[in-house]
Amino acid sequence: MRLVGAPIESSAIEEFGPYRLQRILGEGGMGVVWLARREDTNTLVAIKFLPHAGLSPARRERFAREIKTLARLKHPYVARLYDAGTLPDGTPWFAMEYVEGIHFTAYCRSRPVEERLRLFRMVCEAVQYLHGQEIIHRDLKPTNILVESDGTPRLLDFGVARELQDVDEPAALTRPGLRFLSPAYAAPEWMRGSSRPPMRRPNGCAMEA
């Protein structure tokens, strides 16, 4: 099955299991995300793949950790994990809730201050929930927060998230992941390569930014 290394023509829809791929939503160093329809439930989902180019042991481990992290999260402001697996060719993937919305900054531009503050408080509530689960997002930024038409925020992209119990994880996993952080929003400790930033500071820096 030809898949995620490059965009496919819209007329050549690929499918696997109950999923029919429709179009690429985004791609980067941490994977490729497709919009897909689950045929048996007639629902849209977002499916993230780790292409063969990214199948180093460290990237496979980070991808597996992202799945593990998402599986723990049950919050109305965090996109939900639905399914996960591996294609016959060895490509790992996971399916999650498709969030149809606009980025945090774009949404706020056309809203009054009171509504912006309400939205910010909801994002803070989601971050507080993550901290309660002993999880640091590490890449919290406006483009990783989508706002639905009813004003509900959804946190996305846990590709570089870490559990606080993993502060002593091997440098082979930690340091390569640093290049996927966003310098304008990441805590200085992360950018310096520290494996032990203050426990709640990294997401706090993102919120302040």
Is 147 inside any structural domain? yes
**Whole-number pLDDT of residue 11:** 38
Four-CA torsion 75, 76, 78, 83, nearest 10 degrees? 80
Same structural domain, 68 and 130: no
Same structural domain, 92 and 114: no
Determine the structural domain holding residue 80 and report its residue range.
Answer: 15-97
Query: Does 140 have pLDDT greater than 80?
Result: yes
CATH of the domain at 110: 1.10.510.10
Same structural domain, 77 and 123: no
Same structural domain, 129 and 200: yes
Query: Does 173 have pLDDT greater than 80?
Result: no
Is 9 inside any structural domain? no
Same structural domain, 72 and 36: yes
Same structural domain, 159 and 124: yes
Domain boundary among 97, 116, 149: 97
**Whole-number pLDDT of residue 161:** 76
Count of the separate structural domains present in the chain:
2
**Whole-number pLDDT of residue 6:** 44
- Counting residues of the chain whose pLDDT is more than 70, the rounded percentage is 70
Q: pTM of the entire structure?
A: 0.75
Q: Where in the sequence numbering do the catalytic residues fall?
A: 139
Query: Does 72 have pLDDT greater than 80?
Result: yes
- Cα radius of gyration (the chain): 17
- Split at pLDDT 50, 70, 90, the class of 182 is low
- Split at pLDDT 50, 70, 90, the class of 162 is confident
SS3 category, 169: coil
Domain boundary among 42, 67, 97: 97
Task: List all residues 6 or more positions away from 190 whose beta carbon is below 8 Å from its beta carbon.
Answer: 138, 178, 181, 197, 202
Same structural domain, 60 and 157: no
CA proximity to 46, closest of 203, 154, 162: 154
Domain boundary among 97, 128, 160: 97
Same structural domain, 177 and 194: yes
For 140, the token pair is 């919290």
Query: Does 83 have pLDDT greater than 90?
Result: yes
Query: What is the average pLDDT across 111-140?
Result: 93
Same structural domain, 62 and 35: yes
- Counting residues of the chain whose pLDDT is more than 90, the rounded percentage is 52
Same structural domain, 30 and 49: yes
More confident residue, 189 or 203: 189
